[in-house]
Amino acid sequence: MSAKSYPGSDAVKANGWFTAHKWLIARRVSQFTILGLFLTGPLFGLWIVKGNLTSSLTLDILPLSDPFVLLQSLLAGHIAADTALIGAAIVLAFYALVGGRVYCSFVCPMNFVTDAARWLSKRLGLSKGWQPSRDTRLWILGAVMLSALGTGVLAWELLNPVTILHRALVYGAGYGATVALAIFLFDLVVSRRGWCGYLCPMGAFYGLLGRASVVRISAVRRDDCNDCMDCFAVCPEPHVITPALRGADTGTGPIVISGDCTNCGRCIDVCAKNVFQFDMRFHNDLPNASVSDESASASTNRHAAE
């Protein structure tokens, strides 16, 4: 292997720095733009988006509401007015199209915090720490909904670090910003990628939506894979890659089908062999039996040759 210093350095060499960072840049642009749209009003009096991520009104016409919070409200016994229901339907339809956890990677303000923690933990060479089951967040999602049902109030929203952080950013920081510090420390010291990877019930909710969402990552040129492992190194949910990337031998299609995938596109960036691209979930068929046999044997040969 050539002298390489960090995941993605091969891709930088092969494709240039910009191509090897394009989705990361797109993601940061998206995150800052969305936050900026909320902030032009309070900071400069230019009202583009009012409210916050739980419910907003864009240009006084487009309502958007968070279906995760609205579901809690429904279970707590309140049927919201049409504005919120329409807003939640738009949001659901959008993420059902572009990928459920696109919320996590392109929108959520906590992603700044958890990515920063991951960056620092890499710099400091910290260990993985606590690694519970990926399903933990689903159980927490269940507990959140159960607590709304049991108490008749939005119990989780008294604690939800994601909505508290965004509210603090848009309505003026204060103690709210300390939840970001708590999550940062948790991710840094207790559990690598711990909050988003194992605990956050919002991510779990959007992950469920992602199980059916249309736009997906595809390891379409997986036969070119040289096993450099860079995609696994940068992926926040690395278990989603294996079936798609290594599935040729077992007859699994190239689409990353797991709802846990955040469609962040970082695997596309860091792959020097351009294995990955965005695709639709329907394109998950193997080209045809003979080709797949060929490719399977080719990949076997390649592995054998190494």
Partner 1 sequence: MGEQSSSHSSAQSRRRFLGNIARAAGGAGALALVVGLFARQAQTLPAQALRPPGAGPEADFLAACIRCGLCVRDCPYPTLSLADMSSDVPVGTPFFVARKVPCEMCDDIPCVKACPTAALDPNLTNIDDADMGLAVLVDEETCLNFQGLRCDVCYRVCPVIDIAITLEISHNTRTKKHAVFIPTVHSDKCTGCGKCERACVLETAAIRVFPRHLAKGRIGEHYRLGWEEKAKHGGESLAPGLVDLPDRLPDQLPDALKGWKP
Coil, helix or strand at residue 162? helix
Q: Is beta strand 49-52 parallel, antiparallel or unpaired with respect to 215-218?
A: unpaired
Q: Helices (DSSP H) in 172-265: which residue ranges? A: 178-185, 194, 201-210, 230-234, 241-245
Which residues are paired to 277 by β-bridges? Answer: 218
For partner 1, give the closer residue by CB, 55 or 218. 55
For partner 1, give the closer residue by CB, 38 or 95. 38
Sheet arrangement for strand 62-65: 49-52, 55-58, 62-65
CB of 154 to partner 1, least distance (A): 6
Q: End-to-end CA distance of the chain, in Å?
A: 12
CB of 57 to partner 1, least distance (A): 6
CB of 19 to partner 1, least distance (A): 39
Q: Which residues bind partner 1 (CB under 8 A)?
A: 41, 47, 50-52, 54-57, 63, 65-66, 69-70, 73, 76-78, 80-81, 83-84, 87, 133, 135-136, 139-140, 142-144, 146-148, 150-159, 163-164, 167-168, 170-171, 174-176, 178-179
CB of 159 to partner 1, least distance (A): 7
Q: Count CB neighbours of 8 within 10 A.
A: 25
For partner 1, give the closer residue by CB, 61 or 124. 61
Helix (H) or strand (E) holding 95: helix 82-98
CB of 153 to partner 1, least distance (A): 4
For partner 1, give the closer residue by CB, 142 or 251. 142
The two three-digit tokens of residue 256, written as one number: 């990353």
For partner 1, give the closer residue by CB, 116 or 149. 149
